[in-house]
Structure formats: structure tokens, C-alpha cells
Copies of this chain bind each other. A is one copy, B any other.
């Protein structure tokens, strides 16, 4: 339990974020490291999905995880115990998102001999969507209990995400959630978004989602 490194992230000066993000992406491209920015509401299942995804991908890639949270290190401990990969905890000091400079502070605490780094952003559908972290791709998880109207209410989040996983599909019978409608709403925000229904708990759909990441990583390394 004590093995997780906790980094206290300092607030960066905001106005150069786009340049910082572009510079970080260029650096990652040169190093052939794929950085995935993972976002969702609180409790949508980011950490559980990550554990399943990493156990699928770790035979092919060297993986590290940065867990951003306002407080606690429960997520980094869960990743470490559930997958064995390197996981560090970033404490945002109450901040509601990460920007590129803050992401860089985390990366500086990870080894460079990795292929895939996953940043688990703060659980929030609003602010993280507004800040480019410098990641190669953005992915978000919408969980069935949250409702199919979320793309209408948090449009920017769906607009900036390349991959949308719809989690907790084992709960579909209990909720009034229309899968066709949510796909239509998501594609209304971002016509190119790839959508993957999954159940992180029982593993359903994880293979397909992992294969999507394999394609993205291979594209990035070209």
C-alpha cells in the first residue's frame, strides 16, 4: 500500500497551454510514447476499466499510469495491485483538471522506457474538456446509470474525445438508456468518435477497446 509515489502538482500559468500541449505532443512523438488522456464523471469506472485494459495490453507494451485526484491515492494503489504496472498519484490540490504543464510534471516522475502512458484525469465532465493535456488521444467513459442525455448536457467533452467507452452495460435492463440515441447524440458532437460499449466489471467489450488502442498506438508510431 505504501509503494505508490504521490506527486503534489503545482498550478501552471494558463495562457501558454496550447503551445505547451503541442510541444509535449511533439516530444512524445519523437520518443514514440503514446499518451492517452482518460476522462469521465466521478464513478463512471475509469480505474476498473484501466485495470482490465492494462491486463489486456501489458504483454504488448510497457505501460505506466498517472492517476490524478484531488485527494487520496486509492486509484494508484488499485492500478498497482490490479496490474503490477508503474502507477503514480498526482494530487491536484483541489484543481478540477490537468493542463499540459501539470501533465508534464507527472511525466517527469515516470521512466522514459515506456510505450503507453495513461493519464486518468480528475472525475469531471466539464473542466478537463477545456484543457489540452498534450495527450495523443482523448478517451472518455460514459456509464449507463448516468443517462443517455449526457452528450447534450456536456457537449465539449464529447467533442474533444476520439474514443467513447459506454461502461456498465450489464446495468442496461435497470436503466432507461437508449444505446442508439446516445450514439446519435455523440456523433452529433463528434462524427469521428469511436464508440465501444463495455462492462469493465465482467470484461465484456474490453478486447475490442484494447484493439482500438493498439491501432491508435501503431498509427502514432508511424
A127 proximal to B (CB < 8 A)? yes
Report yes or no: A94 in contact with B130, Cβ–Cβ below 8 A: yes
Task: Decide if A125 touches B156 in the complex (CB within 8 Å).
Answer: no
Copies in the complex: 2
User: With a CB–CB cut-off of 8 A, which chain B residues contact A126?
Assistant: 70, 94, 96, 122-124, 127
B residues near A143, Cβ cutoff 8 Å = 43, 145
Interface of A is mostly: loop
- Are A72's CB and B156's CB within 8 A? no
B125 touching A125, Cβ below 8 Å: no
Given contacts A74-B152, A123-B126, A126-B127, 12 further A-B contacts (CB under 8 A): A41-B41, A43-B146, A70-B126, A71-B152, A72-B152, A74-B149, A74-B153, A96-B96, A96-B126, A122-B126, A123-B125, A124-B125
